[in-house]
């Protein structure tokens, strides 16, 4: 069977599975729609959280980012996993004990303030939409590349699928489809990884292959890659660029952002007890770590393969002798070759490349980093069904994350805005209807953003983290760990953290991208890491404002006491 | 959200904070420390695999393995602590 037939078959089969699950788990109350009735076992919640969390960017982007940035890409690996330690130790058990439906619910009740709730709702909706645009785009890219469907139609098909299970099943439907999607995506990620590891490093386990010295070679795979990088004028693969403070700031911002993302937090509301929240955080990170520790190995294999293709035995290769995958991906503009010196050879070099006479060499090849995972099976010449599997996996990753985010948007609207603010007398039945309508509308907005994306996949996602790190994370943390943190302090902190972080990012990313260099950044910290500073501002402002305003009411302090301890159990 | 008879929650909370502090110290040490701050100093040590510089390995593998262990340790210790303080058939 050809690639297209395999792809159609696998994608069709996986979509059918999601729809069947959705129909079987229709939500009949707001409790089921918002938090799956709190009946999800910890292991299943771990899988669902992993799928919820691992987005199109994780599946397609992470290995690609590391492949192109080497050591500096580690910030994503540590940031997007280390956040779970914060989540498991500092947030998840207490929020589960609190037990209400949304993150704005916690903020609103802990800080006894509709303003705080409103700020949280706006943040939740903004963060979720920035993030969901990337997912829908990912769906479109997979469809256009693998099935030669127009990106727009790809997005529309993806919207249709999400619409069915998110609107029908709410959190209940989403949870069990996410469990299935985790299985699809991890299988789809691991199979090619094992294949490539066998081809490149002669080892079944990619984690070992990546640190090995291949048979018949004097040097290890990484040392060879470092050598190639040096020859071609790229920076050393296994060493950082040197801006340590920036790497620290980015890593921390990604960690705190991960812990503060509403669609991840809300997953911990769905388990029966506090102890299950802790356990499911353990499962979740274990399932995530399978992909995140394999990705750096895939990155090394892919990078080596790529360089070996265009730069063989110490010389640049002619364009007309490139393998078929090279031309296919050129057709999608994800690989671009511009023969600047007209010699027909592909000069693929870094910034500091020089030829034998010491003259600089101009780079002629641009490769979109998102293709590293998608094109890898073709580069390594793997069977057709493996290529098709990658397409189904990419879709599973994108759809599962999109659904989780859309649910946050819909609950924010129906529960926090309508029920808790504009129309407190809303009946349960009408609230459920409102939640479905909001979910439907959110799918449409997400689709629009996917067709007209504000940036490319990983870039847009990074934006959401800084904002979550500077707003939710500190507010929730202080709400649990400092009993006397009050409304005035928390709101002031969130507002300052948000405005500072957003302005910094908007200034350097959108208004003056040409000024976004290390000399101009404050403290040498890039827009990606600025959430860490925003978070520090948030804490500081909150502490100062709290010190000269009134303590929170006694019942709020009592509530903090209560969320700190688990429910009583009888064995 | 009401707990009628109040258990000695103070000790429980202090034990929790202590455990969190220890685990977060390890969390920061492997990621920000070994994985970033000291990564370059550890570059010439090839461990734990023959081809991986140690700092690079911690940044891309070791820290993530450690994170998983930290969460499981926390979950195991805290769930035991919960049984001690908040289980109705308490004193085992």
- Contact at CB, B67 and A85, closer than 8 angstroms: yes
Question: Which of B 2-61 lie inside 8 A of A, CB atoms?
Answer: 2-3, 7, 9, 12-13, 16, 20, 23-24, 27, 31-32, 35-37, 39-40, 43, 46, 48-53, 56-57, 59-61
Q: What is the predicted pLDDT for the residue at A462?
A: 65
Mean of per-residue pLDDT scores for chain B? 85
pLDDT at A383: 85
Contact (CB<8Å) A77/B31: no
- Residue B52 to residue A275, Cβ atoms within 8 A: no
Q: Which H helix or E strand runs over A366?
A: strand A365-367
The predicted complex's ipTM stands at 0.91
In this prediction, residues A353-360 reach a mean pLDDT of 78
A559–B74 C-beta distance less than 8 A: no
Determine the Cα–Cα distance for residues A103 and A148; give it in Å rounded to an integer. 40
Mean pLDDT within A263-272 = 88
The minimum CA-CA distance between A208 and chain B, rounded to whole Å, is 7
A424 burial level (CB within 10 Å; 0-12, 13-18, 19+) = exposed
Smallest CA–CA separation between B29 and chain A, in Å?
12
Burial annotation A355-385 (CB, 10 A radius, 16+ → b, else e): eeeeeebebbbebbbbbbbbbbbbbbebebb
Q: What is the share, in percent, of chain B residues with pLDDT greater than 90? A: 50
Structure tokens at A439: 């979910």
- Average the pLDDT over A425-448 and give the result: 84
Interface test with B, best of A565, A567, A569, A571 (most B CBs within 10 A): A565
Shortest Cα–Cα distance, A79 to chain B (Å): 9
Residue A568 CB burial class (10 angstroms; 0-12, 13-18, ≥19): middle
DSSP three-state, residue A202: coil
pLDDT score, position A454:
63
Chain A residues 52-81 with a CB less than 8 Å from chain B:
66, 71, 74-75, 77-78, 81
Helices (H), A148-232: 151-201, 206-209, 221-231
Contact flag B59-A71 (C-beta cutoff 8 Å): yes
* Residue range A503-522, pLDDT digits in tens: 888 888 777 777 777 778 88
Distance CA(A520)–CA(A527), nearest Å, equals 11
**Contacting residues of B for A253, CB less than 8 Å apart:** none
pLDDT-based confidence at A461, cuts 50/70/90? low
Q: List CB contacts (< 8 A) between B65 and chain A.
A: 289, 293
Instruction: Give the Cα separation of A570 and B83 in Å (integer).
Output: 9
| Predicted confidence (pLDDT) at residue B92 exceeds the cutoff of 50 | no
* Facing B9 at nearest CB: one of A211, A565, A569: A565
In angstroms, the CA A142 to CA A154 distance is 8
Residues in chain B with CB shorter than 8 Å from the CB of A200 are none
> Mean pLDDT throughout A62-75?
88
Cβ distance of B86 and A567 shorter than 8 Å: yes
Residue located via tokens 């994108």: A398
Residue pLDDT, tens place only, A186-243: 998 999 899 888 888 888 899 888 888 877 778 888 888 888 888 888 888 888 777 8
Cβ of B31 within 8 Å of Cβ of A82? The answer is yes
CB contacts of B32 in chain A (<8 Å) are 248, 251-252
Q: Give the closest of A88, A289, A569 to B74, CB-based.
A: A88
Looking at residue B67, what is its pLDDT?
96
Check whether A380 has a pLDDT greater than 80. no
Lowest mean pLDDT among A182-186, A284-288, B25-29: A182-186
Mean pLDDT of A344-366: 82
Task: Determine the average pLDDT of the residues in A166-178.
Answer: 84
Angle in degrees, CA A419, A421, A425, rounded to 5: 45
pLDDT at B7: 54
CB contact under 8 A, A285 and B67: yes
User: Cβ contacts (< 8 Å) between B16 and chain A: which residues?
Assistant: 564
Given an 8 Å threshold on Cβ–Cβ distance, is A239 in contact with B23? no
Between A151-201 and A42-53, two packed helices, what is the crossing angle to 10 degrees? 110
Mutate: best of A42, A92, A238, partner B, most B CBs <10 A:
A238
* pLDDT grade for B1, boundaries at 50, 70 and 90: very low
pLDDT of residue A23: 83
Residue of B nearest to A86 (CA): B24
Question: Each residue of A24-41: pLDDT tens digit?
Answer: 887 778 888 888 888 888
Question: How does pLDDT run across A86-100, given as a tens digit for each residue?
Answer: 999 999 999 998 877
Q: How far apart are CA A527 and CA A502, in angstroms?
A: 9
**Rounded alpha-carbon distances, angstroms, from residue A545 to A110, A114, A120, A486:** 17, 18, 19, 9
Q: Which residues of B touch A571 (CB under 8 A)?
A: 83, 87-89
pLDDT score, position A455 = 58
Q: Is it the case that residue B91 has pLDDT exceeding 70?
A: no
Q: Which chain A residue shows the shortest CA-CA distance from B61?
A: A293
pLDDT at B4: 47
Q: pTM for this structure?
A: 0.91
What's the CA gap between A563 and A109, in Å, rounded? 12
**What average pLDDT is seen over chain A?**
85
């Amino acid at each position: 069977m050809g690639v297209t037939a395999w792809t159609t078959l696998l994608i069709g089969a996986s979509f059918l599975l999601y729809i069947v699950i959705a129909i079987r788990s229709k939500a009949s109350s707001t409790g089921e729609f918002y938090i799956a009735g709190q009946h999800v076992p910890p292991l299943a919640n771990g899988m669902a959280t992993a799928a919820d969390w691992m987005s199109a960017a994780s599946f397609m982007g992470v290995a690609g980012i590391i492949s192109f940035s080497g050591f500096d890409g580690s910030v994503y690996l540590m940031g997007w996993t280390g956040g779970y330690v914060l989540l498991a130790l500092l947030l998840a058990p207490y929020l589960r004990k609190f037990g209400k439906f949304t993150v704005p619910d916690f903020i609103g009740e802990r800080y006894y303030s509709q303003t705080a709730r409103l700020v949280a709702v706006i943040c939740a909706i903004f963060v979720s939409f920035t993030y969901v645009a990337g997912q829908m785009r990912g769906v479109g890219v997979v469809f256009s590349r693998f099935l030669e469907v127009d990106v727009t139609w790809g997005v529309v098909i993806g919207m249709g699928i999400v619409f069915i299970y998110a609107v029908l099943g709410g959190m209940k439907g989403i949870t069990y489809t996410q469990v299935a999607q985790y299985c699809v995506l991890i299988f789809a990620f691991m199979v090619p990884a094992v294949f490539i590891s066998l081809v490149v490093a002669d080892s079944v386990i990619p984690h070992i292959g990546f640190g090995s010295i291949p048979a018949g070679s004097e040097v290890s795979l990484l040392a060879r890659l470092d050598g190639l990088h040096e020859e071609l004028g790229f920076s050393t693969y296994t060493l950082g660029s040197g801006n340590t403070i920036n790497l620290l700031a980015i890593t921390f911002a990604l960690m705190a952002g991960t812990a503060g993302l509403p669609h991840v937090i809300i997953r911990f509301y769905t388990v029966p007890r506090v102890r299950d929240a802790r356990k499911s955080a353990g499962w979740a990170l274990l399932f995530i770590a399978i992909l995140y520790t394999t990705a750096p190995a895939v990155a090394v294999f892919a990078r080596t393969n790529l360089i070996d293709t265009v730069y063989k035995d110490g010389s640049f290769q002619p364009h007309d002798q490139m393998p078929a995958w090279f031309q296919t991906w050129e057709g999608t503009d994800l690989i671009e070759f511009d023969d600047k010196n007209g010699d027909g050879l592909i000069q693929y070099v870094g910034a500091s490349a020089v030829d034998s006479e010491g003259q600089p060499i101009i780079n002629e090849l641009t490769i979109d980093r998102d293709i590293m995972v998608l094109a890898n099976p073709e580069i390594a010449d793997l069977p057709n069904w493996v290529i098709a599997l990658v397409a189904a996996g990419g879709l599973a990753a994108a759809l599962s994350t999109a659904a989780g985010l859309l649910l946050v948007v819909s609950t924010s609207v129906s529960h926090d805005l309508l029920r808790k603010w504009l129309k407190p007398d809303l009946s349960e039945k009408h609230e459920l209807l409102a939640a479905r309508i909001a979910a439907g509308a959110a799918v449409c907005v997400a689709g629009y953003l996917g067709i007209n994306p504000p940036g490319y996949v990983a870039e847009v996602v990074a934006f959401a983290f800084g904002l979550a790190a500077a707003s939710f994370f500190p507010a929730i943390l202080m709400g649990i760990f400092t009993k006397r943190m009050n409304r005035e302090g928390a709101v002031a902190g969130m507002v300052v953290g948000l405005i500072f972080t957003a302005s910094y990012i908007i200034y350097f990313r959108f208004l003056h991208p040409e000024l976004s260099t290390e000399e101009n950044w404050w403290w040498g910290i890039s827009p990606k890491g600025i959430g860490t500073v925003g978070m520090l501002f948030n804490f500081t402002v909150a502490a100062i404002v709290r010190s000269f305003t009134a303590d929170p009411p006694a019942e709020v302090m009592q509530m903090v006491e209560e969320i700190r301890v688990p429910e009583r159990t009888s064995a | 959200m009401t707990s009628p008879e109040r258990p000695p929650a103070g000790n429980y909370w202090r034990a929790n904070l202590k455990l969190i502090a220890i685990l977060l110290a390890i969390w920061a040490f492997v990621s920000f420390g070994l994985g970033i701050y000291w990564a370059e100093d550890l570059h010439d040590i090839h461990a734990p695999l023959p081809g991986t510089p140690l700092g690079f390995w911690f940044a891309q593998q070791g820290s993530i393995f450690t994170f998983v262990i930290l969460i499981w340790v926390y979950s195991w210790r805290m769930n035991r602590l919960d049984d001690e303080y908040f289980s109705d058939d308490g004193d085992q």
